[in-house]
Chain A
Amino acid sequence: MPEQDRLGRLSRRAFIQAGLLGAGVAALLPVSVPVAKPRDVPRNRTLTLVWTGREGRWIDHELWNPYAIGSNHQSGPGIFYEPLAYYSAFADKEYLWLAESYAYSPDFKELIITTRSGITWSDGVPFSAEDVAYTLNSLRDLGPKVRWGVDVQQFMQEARVTDPHTVVVTFKMPAPRFFYFMTYKYDIGVYIVPQHIFQDQDWTTFKHFDLEKDWPVTTSPWKVVFASPEQKIIDRRDTWWAAKARLASMPKVERNIWLPSAGEQQLAQALITNQVDYSMSIQPATMPTVFRQNPKITTHSGQKPPYGYMDWWPYSLYVNNEKPPFNDKDIRWALSSFIDRQQIVDVSWAGAAEPSPLPLPAYPALLPYINAVKDILAKYNTLEFNPKKGEAMFSAKGWKKDSAGIWVDPQGLRLSLDIISPGALGSAVGPVISEQLKRQGVDATFSLPPDFDIRFQKGQYTGALYGHGGSVNDPYHTLRLYQGASVAVPGAHLVNFAKWKNEAYDQIVDEVFATDMRDQARLLELFRKAMEIWIPELPDIPLTYNYHRIPMNTTYWKNWPTAENPYVNGAFWHLTYAMVLWNLQPTQ
């Protein structure tokens, strides 16, 4: 027994020693160490922001090629690939960037792009028209393998370099919106890549990340100095062609730290304690708490509702137009009459929102179109809450309420509506709208299925809450969301989530497609014709505008994009974030 005791004591000691040694070594194991320690940057020249990540960590920290599957321009790569042009919907202004000019042929089957001179990639290789042509031709060839591939393949015949600063793009069909498609706005725009880096790579797996090689190679003033699941650190380079060309001033932000979100509570606390300067949207109900504890936090609308700006994504209650009884426009109108949008604003959004009469945002460039159909909206009020009107519509079609107060059609079928929705929108609005409908005799249920995207895209739903990623400066992109078929764009990928079909409408949208974006008179005429069909038909039921409620901390930084200074929308995850970076000024 003494021997066993001794063995036991030795084992314990050895265990503890091994444990301590292991813990010490293990404490150092998890972290990736940068190749060289970057310079120190003071807090008042550092911009720290929080973006979604995934469950508190980055999953794409090694992906700086925005075309790789799994990569996301919203998480940092967006600022490294400068565009041919930026467009600010708030200023309704186009800013030519890598492109100096562009011109379409009269039939819109050819586009000539002239690139700027004096631009070099960060490795010293000059940027040229070759990079633009290579990017476009590669996208055409890669097609469905990469983001934007099909969009380019669908329209473009070829991109040809005629001299070091000229690219001639030829199209299979008239493409009057191709340059606009390539322009950076919101989440849309073609990333121009360095040919000399990408040409021997598989775009779908190439990470374009190697700190020793100073990758990603960029024309922007930014440089990745560290990236791990915990943080991405981006430093400013010393020179930038755009500052030399006096297109923009050199950014004052010397370091930009991207942190993944750990949840709204922690985010609010980090904003209050000035650990964070800029963040993803937070719930309107959280805003007053944050303002109270840190008066230096502001938003696009200051410290007043809606605590942000109108996003391009007004949302609706979609009903599947292929499924009876929702294939009947009168039933859709009756449902619309049952919905109290002001209550949705008050309860779901704590009063910080506005109802939207149409599925497009009230942006400066779109206001003429919205104003042009005011008389139609007066006749068909898409925002009217009038249960009696809805009841009358049901009764006129022979529907009656059963003993439980649910509408039943003449064949005895109850009116059921299962509403599905993704994430935050659904959590806020779903319970309110389903309760409103229940009170009016609709057997409504609400859920947040994990496979929402697939079900919604395939039309495997009855009701859904979702927005409209459509227009910001001309009406085409919203109108095409409802096209059932297109002759003008053969093989077009049609969104048509509502599964609504109307041939006359489709023809009008094809005409809009072929119309010059600058021909507002013709576009107004066509938009009105389309709305004369769309509004009475009501393919989906408009609810409210969507808002980005982005907190911005003025402790270290000022000149944020706000209602008084709307140079661009403030979403740093959008492709126009670079504009915010070169506009921010230090307070200290």
Chain B
Amino acid sequence: MQLGYVAKRCGVFLLIIWLAATLNFFLPKLSGQDPVREKLLQQAQLGGYVQAGIEAMAKEYEQRFGLDKPLWSQYLAYLHEMSRLRFNYSISHYPRTVSEIMAEAIPWTVVLLGTTTVLSFTIGTLLGALLAWPGAPRSLRFLMPPLWALHAIPFFLCGLILIYLLAFQLQWLPMFGGYTAGAFPALSLAFVGDVLTHAILPALSIILVATGGWALTMRGMMVTTQGEDYVTFAEAKGLKSRTVFLRYCVRNAILPQTTALALALGQILSGAVLVEVIFAYPGIGTVLFHAIRENDHFLIQGIVFSVIVALGVATLLLDVLYPWLDPRITYRRA
């Protein structure tokens, strides 16, 4: 029975991937733009001068990218390449391939967003649970208005404020970049420290904003859970307040948060686009932003396809793992 459930989920997973990949192929084409010609024109017009022979050059490169073939042929080639996780050349980074570019940028984003997502989830969930708990210190309640206010502003705006205060005025932290300008990467503690120092401001701008969201949803779930019979029963049994809080309330209230966390982790690959852009942080968000601006079909397709797969895998894992996390959920039909 369990095997059938997993097989069915895997089937749905593959269907979703195919549908999303198909949309991913056709949507950028709908813009009607010609990315190769635009790229060449940009290059040809460097400094305002217009170079000769752009038409001939564009034809040459359209052939090289396979863009001279009929759309159905491009689509089949695309599906074939995607199924082997092989991506084309990037139009805007030519002659670099999409895979090379992604391999370079993804680790930066995974480190930044993985850490910030887990941290903001942990802090936010804990704060949310405490805020709904009658036994929590009253002083905690003062945290809620600023957390909600921060949650209402975009990451990048928070980032700009932090840059001004902590990097420009106080000069405590670096303004931008993945590491100090002029520093040579090395497998040393000093360099790792430098990388981490540069990640503090972008990370902080995400954590400050995201924590409020996690706290808000957790608080709502806690309020609902506290009204459940099993909590009243636990209190009536005379269990310690800490036990009721952690084992009876938090444990039950955290399930929707776990789902959201899995989806948030799945979305990591799309990056925190504007945060990465304003901090010149070399992650996948800046790559995606650039790819969209330059209408680089192949790079957009590569990144979006990776996000789709990551989200699909996260959802599949959740589907499979949920019954283990919550015994009330079963593989069997009701």
A positions within 8 Å CB-CB of B:
19, 22-23, 26-34, 37-38, 41, 46, 48, 53-57, 59-60, 62-63, 68-70, 72-74, 143-145, 147-151, 153-154, 186-188, 204-205, 207, 226, 228-231, 233, 255, 257, 259-263, 265-266, 269-270, 272-273, 275, 311-313, 450-451, 453-454, 457, 467-469, 492-493, 495, 573-574
Contacts and interface: CB of A to CB of B under 8 A. Distances in A.
B37 A454 contact: yes
B30 interface: no
A259 B198 CA distance: 15
Interface in B57-85: 57, 59-61
B95 A467 contact: no
Contacts of B295: 450
B50 A454 contact: no
B243 interface: no
Nearest to A73: B46
Contact of B95 (A143, A150, A204): A204
Nearest to B36: A69
B181 A207 contact: no
Main secondary structure of the interface of A (DSSP, over half): loop
A266 B56 contact: no
Nearest to A41: B182
Nearest to A59: B93
A269 B38 CA distance: 33
Nearest to A150: B53
Given A27-B111, A30-B107, A72-B46, A57 B185 contact: no
A163 B191 CA distance: 53
5 contacts: A33-B185, A57-B290, A143-B56, A151-B53, A454-B34
Contacts of B42: 453
B160 interface: yes
Nearest to A449: B33
Contact of B53 (A33, A46, A60, A144): A144
Interface in B1-50: 33-34, 37-50
Contacts of A453: 38, 41-42, 45
B124 interface: no
A55 B54 contact: no
Closest 6 CB pairs of A and B: A150-B53, A56-B280, A187-B47, A469-B48, A262-B280, A144-B56
B49 to A, nearest CB: 4
A207 B108 contact: no
Contacts of B108: 30
Contact of A262 (B52, B59, B278): B278
A207 B179 contact: no
A468 B195 CA distance: 44
Contacts of B110: 26
A41 B183 CA distance: 11
Given A207-B95, A229-B104, A275-B181, A187 B52 contact: no
A255 B41 contact: no
B172 interface: no
Nearest to B37: A454
Nearest to B299: A59
Contact of B175 (A31, A186, A266): A266
B273 to A, nearest CB: 9
B310 to A, nearest CB: 15
Interface centre among A31, A53, A257 (most CB of B within 10 A): A31
Given A33-B186, A144-B53, A454-B34, A270 B47 contact: no
Given A259-B181, A574-B47, A273 B280 contact: no
A226 B108 CA distance: 19
A70 B105 contact: no
A48 B107 contact: no
B266 interface: no
Interface stretch (B138-146, B163-171, B212-220, B230-238): B163-171
A34 to B, nearest CB: 5
Nearest to B108: A30
Contact of B60 (A56, A145, A151): A145
Contacts, number: 223
B163 A70 contact: no
Given A55-B286, A57-B286, A313 B48 contact: yes
Nearest to A495: B50
Contact of A255 (B37, B38, B104, B182): B182
Given A57-B282, A59-B290, A31 B47 contact: no
Contacts of A495: 50
Contacts of A144: 53, 56-57, 59-60
A139 to B, nearest CB: 11
Contact of A55 (B37, B44, B175, B293): B293
B286 to A, nearest CB: 4
A69 B187 contact: no
Given A37-B184, A229-B282, 13 more contacts: A30-B108, A30-B178, A30-B282, A70-B43, A187-B46, A257-B181, A262-B279, A265-B163, A266-B175, A266-B278, A269-B167, A273-B171, A451-B38
A56 B57 contact: no
B41 A457 contact: yes
A476 to B, nearest CB: 13
B281 interface: yes
B263 interface: no
A388 to B, nearest CB: 35
A28 B278 contact: no
Contacts of A145: 57, 60
A453 B46 CA distance: 12
Contacts of B101: 59
A53 B294 CA distance: 13
Contacts of B54: 457, 493
Interface string B111-137: 100110010000000000000000000
Contacts of A275: 175, 181
Contact of A34 (B51, B171, B185): B185
Nearest to A467: B48
B96 interface: yes
Contacts of B61: 69
Contacts of A272: 168
A337 B171 CA distance: 51
B175 to A, nearest CB: 5
Contacts of B168: 269, 272-273
Contacts of B48: 187, 311-313, 467-469
